[in-house]
């Protein structure tokens, strides 16, 4: 085979490999199944407390300026 034939075969094999990866998928199934990560009430409360704390810190910073 000449150089163009080998290059063409190489591109075809690479394209087939990429196509297989895209078809098989390695992404997030939640978009298809509707599943979501379950968060406990304790974690929700902790996150809310941290948000409130940072909001208060921002208010205090504005008062000092």
| Number of residues in the chain | 65
Instruction: Kindly state whether residue 51 falls inside one of the protein's structural domains.
Output: yes
Instruction: Kindly state whether residue 48 falls inside one of the protein's structural domains.
Output: yes
Instruction: Kindly state whether residue 52 falls inside one of the protein's structural domains.
Output: yes
Q: What is the pLDDT of residues 1-28, one digit of tens each?
A: 555 666 667 676 666 665 555 555 556 5
The encoded tokens of residue 2 equal: 């000449």
Q: Are 36 and 30 in contact (CB under 8 A)?
A: yes
CA 53 vs CA 8, 44, 46, 60: distances in Å: 61, 14, 11, 11
Q: Give the structural domain span for 57.
A: 38-65
pTM greater than 0.75? no
The encoded tokens of residue 13 equal: 């094999």
Number of domains in the chain: 1
Q: What phi and psi, each to the nearest 5 degrees, are found at residue 19? A: -60, -40
pLDDT > 90 in the chain, percent: 20
């Amino acid at each position: 085979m000449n150089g163009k034939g080998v290059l063409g075969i190489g591109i075809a094999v690479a394209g087939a490999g990429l196509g297989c990866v895209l078809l098989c998928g390695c992404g997030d199934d939640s978009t298809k199944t509707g599943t979501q990560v379950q968060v406990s009430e304790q974690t929700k409360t902790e996150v809310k407390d941290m948000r409130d704390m940072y909001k208060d810190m921002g208010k205090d910073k504005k008062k000092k300026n």
